[in-house]
Amino acid sequence: MPEETNSNEEFRASDGTPFWELSRFPGTNRRFGQERRLAAWLWFNKAVGDIFTMNELRDALGPNIVGESEHLNRRLRKLRAVGWVLPSYKDDDSLKPDEYRVEAKGVRYWLDEDRKAHKSFSPSRRTRRLVLERDGGRCVVCGIAAKESYPGEPDKKAKLTIGHRVPQERLRTRGAADDLDNWRTECAWCNETVRDEIPDPQQYDEVVAQVKRLSRRDRRTLLNWLHRGERTRSDLDRVYDQSRALTHNERESLITHLQKQFSSDDN
């Protein structure tokens, strides 16, 4: 049953079905998404300060909800992007690994007018450009560049985006500000990492402890890389990066040019 604090608010759709039990909008074939169902169930069944678990969500939303924690976490992240504050044990060590707390309720995601009225934050083109340039055009997690193939996946070409080092949700729960330093270049695969399942990046003192274990030669090399803002790369590496930035037809022409050179050498 809906919580009493929301008893004066309608929790049923026009056909009498609770919002979190809908699969389609009443009277239409339009799909009623899982984020809508999650938001409605949390809004009407949990008060601010209440704890919920993944198993509780699965039981409440029934067989139509995707059962894997990864997918549920992804949907919770969408709610966090529209004002919901839902810390996990990664943010609050008083919570158990499968527990979340409703710290603040955000946009009523199941209502079109509320969702459309919310202006979610997204980085500007300038921010994207600055972050990509700063990080050398490579994913800071796995090191791959745009259009390169993933190891063991020759048909999967990397696409670059930018993401957060520390999720905005964790920053909010700590009263910390989100700024340019918290953005980093990520490939699409690394950006899909389940944020609630991973710890924060290593802190300065932790990195310094690792640095102390390096040889003097390696520390000097690291210093040079840090000054340059990138790992030292050979002329071949740099030309390869420039070649990747060519158009498809230009790259094909370059391949033909090189092939002709080697064919003449073989003859």
Each residue's pLDDT tens digit, 158-194: 889 888 777 765 665 565 556 777 888 998 888 765 4
Q: Which residues contact 79 (CB under 8 A, 6 or more apart)?
A: 35, 38, 39, 42, 86, 106, 109
User: What global pTM score does this model have?
Assistant: 0.47
Q: Could you give the count of Cα atoms lying within 13 Å of 46 in the half-sphere of its Cβ?
A: 26
Q: Which amino acid, 197?
A: E
Farthest-apart Cα atoms in the chain, separation: 87
User: Tens digits of per-residue pLDDT, 91-118?
Assistant: 788 899 889 999 888 888 888 888 777 6
Give pLDDT, residue 172.
59
> With a cut of 50, which residues of the chain have pLDDT below it?
1-8, 194-198
pLDDT value, residue 5: 43
**pLDDT value, residue 1:** 44
Q: How far apart are CA 139 and CA 117, in angstroms?
A: 33
